[in-house]
Structure formats: C-alpha cells, structure tokens
C-alpha cells in the first residue's frame, strides 16, 4: 500500500492589505480542512478582523507581527486600510523591515514552505533556512502574463506607455490590449518605487523569478491558456488552488445591514466595493456615486474616503444624502462582503475587478460583466457611464444584461460543481508535497 505523505507545515506572509490577507486565509482554511498546519504571520492589531474567518483555529495559528515604525506612518498603522493611498509604499517599507523578525520566526517554526507575495526577499531568506518558497499571487495569470512576462525586454526605467499597449510575444490572447492612458499608468508605475527604494515591478519580478514555485487562486476552466503561458515563460511549476471559495462565515450579517437590505426586493440592490487598495480622486468618487443616484436603484457603496479628504461625509456632493435617503448608502468602513454578496437583495456588484485585464477578460471573453466606459485619453469614467453599465446589467429588457446573467449563472454552476474545488485542492496539496521534496 502506498504510504500517505505526512501533513505539511506552511507559513504564510501576505502583503499587509485586507484584500491580500483575506484570500491567504481562505486557502489556509482549505489546507487546514485536510489536516495541514498553518502558521499565519499577521500584524498584531489586525488579528481580530480576520479571527472570525479562521475556521480551523486548532491548525491555523495566527503569529503576531509587530509592524516597525517608519517615518511618515501614523503610530498605529498596520495595513493599507489604516492609511491613505499615497502612504501605501511606507506600509511596504515597514513590512520590509520585519525581515529580521521573520527570519527569527522561521528558524523557530521550521515550516516546509512559506507562501508570500510582495516581500521579494522571502525566497532568498527561505532558501538559506532550507525552506521552499511559493509566490501565492491573488493577481490573475492573465495580468501577470501581460505585465511581467520575461519576454518584455525593458531596460532600466526607460519605459514608455507604447511598450505596454500590446501583449508580449507569445501571449495567448492578442485581443487583450491596453488603452493609451492605461499603458501610460503601467509605465509610470514601473518607474516608481514601492517600499525600501525598490520598484514595484522590480519587486514583483524578483519574487516571480526567485520563488521555487508560483501559485494562483484560479482554475484552468477559466484561465488555462494564461497558466500554460506562465509555465512556459518562467520555467517553474505553477500550482492552482482552484477558486478557493470562502467557507461560510460563522457570523451573521450585522443587524444594521440586515435590516437595511430587508427593505428591498430580491435582486434590486447594487453593491459597490473597491477594496482597501483603491482610493479614488474626489471627482471620480463623486461621479461614481452620482452615477448610482442616476440609476434610481437602491445601492450600497463601501469605499475609502477619496484622496485629499478625511471622511466620506466631506466628500459627498451637495444635497446627495437627502436625495438618496432611504435607498442609497455610502459607507467608509469595513463591511462583511461575503455575507452581503450572499444576500438575496443584491442584484449586481460593481467592482474594480482587481486589474484592467480581469475586466477585459470578464467583459469581452467570459461575458459575465460589463466594463464601465472610460475616456480614451484621461481614463476617467462619468456618472453617465456608470449609470449605463449598471442599467445594462440590471434591466430585464437588456439583451446584454440577459447574456451576462446567463453566463454568470453558468460560471457559478461550474465553480460550485461538486468535487471541482476538492479536486483542485487535492492536486494543489500533491504539488506542494512535490515542491517540498
């Protein structure tokens, strides 16, 4: 009889943003469910936010990390949720300064593998301790392949927007392209530093090239051609955790939201959330919520205060609250997103889609959504374009909306198919065992 491999001990050290911390915990739950031990390295004061989502506390241990002080950061800041967007690089600097503590913890914990994403120094550190490193990326293969393929021969920081307008050689879908304003933004980001005087793209490139393996929260049924492309380009194993659909929360929807949603008919509410990584300009913030007002539909928008403002209230257009009273809420705090999306009253979700490429793939290829139109030169959306996109999806008479709803139902059925996720998790663990050696 074939011997069952021993259970794994995995350390996890995700970027200090809830949009990264939460997906790492989701996959931790999947692994712990099958008996594997997880040491989850997390900022001390952030633990309570994620504790309700730790379904296996006997196997998933939250290991507290003290975030070092960095000049320019508020003393209590730990994650991107705690600071405005311009200060995010300082959160990265603080995370980089935890390297000595992480080394000490890894020596003590002795995990088989460490999952990481933004801390480009982890592979070298792990290698010195005899630990394998896995770049577990919540950004999609379609995005990584387009922006970080080794075939892009960029030199130094001299990168123009034109360099990003078309996909790299061998990229599997030539229909996915960037508008000029998008390409310029990518070129600008590539030239900028992101913590400890390291460029954002340099940080990602080092992580991808130095890790022992790459991993994504996706499945071949949706991104198979992009996964194959990454395996060819980076010449290392690409592991898939599958969709890693979150375990049902143990908590209930907060009473204020449960009561609010109960006042609307099934499928009538528009829910909007851009996550802790996205902070809009004030003008775009206002255009977005004015677009929701124009739809005439009930809506909940969970957004960070826009750049240059201290609160949601001061950013609202004059008279807005009174006009949408009873049907529209703009909330600046954290919300129970999974429970909200499960509520029967929610009929559409407007998201930032993680990356431009996700939006293109979802709208153009999978046809499970509609991309909000933006200006070709400036990349800005208007209240009218927001209203148009929402109505296209929500109105019963819309042919595009009908197609989106039908395709959405098919994708949902596929993702929830019995044994689909378990087969991915089993295969994921098998490849982790091989990576461990």
Active site residues: 20, 117
Mapping DSSP to helix (H, G, I), strand (E, B) and coil, where does residue 332 land?
coil
CB 168 within 8 A of CB 151: yes
Query: Which bin fits 88, alpha (ψ -120 to 50), beta or left (φ > 0)?
Result: alpha
The span from the CA of 393 to the CA of 62, in Å, is 41
The span from the CA of 138 to the CA of 119, in Å, is 14
Query: Which bin fits 94, alpha (ψ -120 to 50), beta or left (φ > 0)?
Result: alpha
CB 18 within 8 A of CB 334: yes
Question: Nearest 5°: CA angle at 140, between 139 and 144?
Answer: 85
CB 386 within 8 A of CB 288: yes
Going by C-alpha positions, the residue among 376, 373, 381 that lies closest to residue 181 is: 376
Residue ranges of alpha helices (H) inside 235-355 are 255-261, 282-295, 312-315, 320-324, 337-342
DSSP 389-401: HHHHHH-TT-HHH
C-alpha separations of 303 from 276, 281, 315, 350, 396 in Å: 8, 12, 11, 12, 28
C-alpha separations of 244 from 53, 318, 344, 353, 367 in Å: 13, 42, 22, 17, 22
């Amino acid at each position: 009889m074939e011997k069952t491999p021993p259970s794994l001990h995995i350390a996890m050290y995700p970027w200090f943003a809830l949009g990264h911390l939460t997906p790492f915990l989701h996959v931790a739950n999947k692994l712990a469910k099958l008996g594997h031990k997880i040491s989850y390295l997390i900022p001390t004061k952030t633990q309570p936010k994620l504790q309700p989502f730790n379904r296996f506390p006997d196997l998933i241990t939250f290991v507290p990390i003290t975030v070092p002080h960095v000049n320019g950061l508020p003393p209590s800041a730990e994650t991107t949720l705690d600071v405005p967007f311009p200060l995010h690089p300082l959160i990265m600097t603080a995370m980089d300064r935890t390297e000595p503590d992480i080394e000490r913890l890894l020596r003590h914990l002795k995990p088989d593998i460490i999952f990481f994403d933004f801390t480009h120094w982890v592979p070298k550190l792990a290698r010195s301790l005899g630990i394998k490193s896995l770049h577990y990326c919540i950004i999609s293969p379609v995005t990584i392949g387009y922006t970080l393929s080794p075939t892009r021969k960029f030199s130094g920081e001299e990168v123009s927007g034109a360099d990003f307008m078309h996909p790299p050689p061998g990229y599997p879908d030539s229909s996915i392209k960037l508008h000029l304003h998008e390409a310029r933004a990518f070129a600008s980001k590539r030239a900028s530093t992101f913590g400890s005087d390291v460029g954002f793209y340099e940080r990602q490139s080092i992580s991808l090239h130095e890790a022992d393996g790459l991993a994504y929260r996706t499945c071949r049924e949706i991104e198979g051609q992009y996964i194959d492309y990454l395996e060819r380009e980076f010449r290392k194993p690409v592991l898939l955790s599958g969709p890693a659909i979150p375990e049902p929360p143990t908590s209930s929807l907060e009473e204020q939201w449960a009561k609010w949603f109960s006042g609307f008919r099934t499928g009538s509410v528009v829910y909007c959330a851009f996550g802790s990584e996205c902070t809009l300009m004030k003008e775009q913030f206002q255009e977005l919520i004015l677009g929701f007002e124009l739809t005439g539909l009930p809506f909940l928008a969970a957004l960070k205060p826009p750049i240059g403002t201290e609160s949601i209230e001061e950013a609202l257009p004059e008279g807005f609250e009174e006009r949408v009273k009873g049907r529209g809420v703009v909330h600046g705090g954290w919300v129970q997103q999974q429970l909200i999306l499960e509520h029967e009253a929610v009929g559409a979700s407007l998201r930032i889609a993680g990356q431009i490429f996700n939006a293109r793939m979802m709208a153009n290829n999978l046809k499970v959504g509609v991309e909000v139109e933006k200006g070709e030169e400036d990349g800005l959306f208007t209240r009218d374009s927001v209203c148009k996109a929402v109505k296209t999806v929500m109105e019963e008479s819309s042919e595009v909306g009908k197609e989106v709803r039908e395709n959405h139902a098919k994708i949902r059925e596929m993702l929830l198919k019995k044994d689909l996720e378990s087969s991915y998790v089993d295969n994921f663990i098998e490849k982790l065992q091989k990576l461990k050696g």
